Structure 1
Amino acid sequence: MDISTILIIAFILIIDIVLIGIDIKNKLIFKGINKYKIIMPILVVGFVVVTFLSNNYRLQDIIVGIAILPLAFIGNKRGITENGFLVNSYVMIWDRVESFSSEEKDNKYIIKYKTNIGQKKVTFKAENKEEIKKYLQVTKRIKYIIK
């Protein structure tokens, strides 16, 4: 194996470990809806299958394929954690949320929150609306509330 392949494998394994650590550390209190959650597993599994179906794959390709498989199943969560909003393995902590608003559309409860880097949204099932409202009102770390 050459040095570039070793560096790629090390980089992928570091990403795997970081994302698994984030998922373990940030337990979801309210699980959001991620409408694109199936795309990442399909892409990663498709990449591995295409690699193995090619006629001239090497040991390095097999190792990279095995190392990349955990990426298909982690990092696809959305919702509210104890520390803030979780979107794709990134937690926007309460102190950085400048304001948020909520709306109900098509039997879904949508929370849009604004930070210094832009506006994001997290979608929930409509049946969790009241519990989420109560939780966000109790959380004193949010600076502003727009209703």
Structure 2
Amino acid sequence: MEISSILIIAFIVIMDIVLIVKDIKNKIIYSGTKKFKIAIPLMIVIFVGITLMNSNYRMQDIIVCVAILPLAFVGNKTGITEKGFLFNSYVTPWDKVESYSLDDQGEKCILSFKTNMGARRIIFKLEDKADIKKYLLSINKLRYVKK
């Protein structure tokens, strides 16, 4: 096996471990969804399928495919945690949020929050809107903006 293949496999395994530890550490209070929630898992599964359907794959191709599969299902969570907003396994702390708003769109509640890195949107069930609003208003570091 070549050194470049070993480095790629090591990098992927380290990413898997980091994302799994982050998912375990960040307990979600209110779970949300993203607009393109299925995109990353679908791309990874298609990549693995195409790689394995190729007639001349090598042993390191199989190892990379096995190592990359957890990335399809880990690191794709969004919601509200005790420490901040969780978006793609990255927690934006309450201090970094400049403003947020809650809007209704059909049968969904959309939480939009703005940071210095840009704006993000998390979609929740409409039934959870009152609980989410009450929880977020109890956090003193956040500023609510009505649209």
Alignment TM-score > 0.5, same fold: yes
Partner of 1:107: 107
5+ residue gaps, structure 1, are none
Displacement, 1:76?
Answer: 1.1
Partner of 1:25: 25
> Structure 1 length as normaliser, TM-score?
0.94
SS in 2 for 1:80: strand
Written as runs of structure 1 = structure 2, the 5 A alignment for 1:45-124 is: 45-124=45-124
Displacement, 1:141?
Answer: 2.7
Displacement, 1:9?
Answer: 0.4
SS in 2 for 1:85: strand
Partner of 2:7: 7
SS in 1 for 2:13: helix
Amino acid at match of 1:71: L
Distance change >3 Å, CA 112–CA 35, structure 1 → 2: closer
Distance 1:3 1:48 in 2: 22
> Structure 2 length as normaliser, TM-score?
0.94
- Spell out structure 1 runs of 4+ moving beyond 4 A: none
Displacement, 1:39?
Answer: 2.0
SS in 2 for 1:63: helix
Distance 1:101 1:42 in 2: 30
Amino acid at match of 1:23: D
Q: Count how many residue pairs are aligned between Structure 1 and Structure 2.
A: 146
Amino acid at match of 1:56: N
Amino acid at match of 2:36: Y
Amino acid at match of 2:73: F
Distance 1:57 1:114 in 2: 45
CA displacement 1:75-126 (0-9 Å, x = unmatched): 1111101111111111111010011112111111111111111111111110
Partner of 1:140: 140
Distance 1:39 1:111 in 2: 21
Distance 1:47 1:145 in 2: 42
5+ residue gaps, structure 2, are none
Identity %: 56
Displacement, 1:34?
Answer: 2.3
CA contact (8 A) 1:33 1:125 kept: no
Task: Give me the CA root mean square deviation.
Answer: 1.1
Amino acid at match of 1:7: L
